Amino acid sequence: QVQLAESGGGLVQPGESLRLVCTVSGRAFDRDTMGWFRQAPGKNREFVAAISWLESVTTYADSVSGRFTISRDNAKNTTYLQMNRLQIEDTAVYSCAIAEIFITRSANDYRYWGQGTQVTVSS
């Protein structure tokens, strides 16, 4: 059974940083694309970032580009989302997900999902 577990969320002030961690069990994910998505209250889920298994190609939503960095450690079955210069608009539940195709931004392409971790940015 494939399971994804996110951690690292919390309450921070604008301008501060957080690092989210997603650990995968039940599957060797070294050939999967890993993605992060977020959903704020009353809004649709939106793509945040993704990283491929091959050469670690990355892609970001425009709203986080330059502030967020996605990375992965295949030996640990773990992917990370380093979030710097957080803004109030970044407040959301962040979820990681697995896609079995080469890097994609579409949620429909992701087969396995974690439960999410809350990130709240507030002054």
Per the DSSP assignment, residues forming a β-bridge with 65 are: 68
Kindly indicate the confidence band of residue 40, based on its pLDDT and cuts at 50, 70 and 90.
very high
Question: Does residue 91 carry a pLDDT above 90?
Answer: yes
Which is more confident, 77 or 20?
20
Kindly indicate the confidence band of residue 54, based on its pLDDT and cuts at 50, 70 and 90.
confident
State the CB neighbour count (10 A cutoff) for residue 22: 27
Question: Does residue 30 carry a pLDDT above 90?
Answer: no
Integer Cα distance of 21 and 4 in angstroms: 10
Average pLDDT, the chain: 94
pLDDT at 56: 79
Integer Cα distance of 117 and 48 in angstroms: 14
**Mean pLDDT value across residues 99-110:** 93
For 111, the token pair is 């087969």
Kindly indicate the confidence band of residue 27, based on its pLDDT and cuts at 50, 70 and 90.
confident
Kindly indicate the confidence band of residue 74, based on its pLDDT and cuts at 50, 70 and 90.
confident
Evaluate whether 94 touches 25 at the Cβ level (below 8 Å).
no
Half-sphere exposure (Cβ direction) of 108: Cα atoms closer than 13 Å: 0
Q: Give the number of residues written for the chain.
A: 123
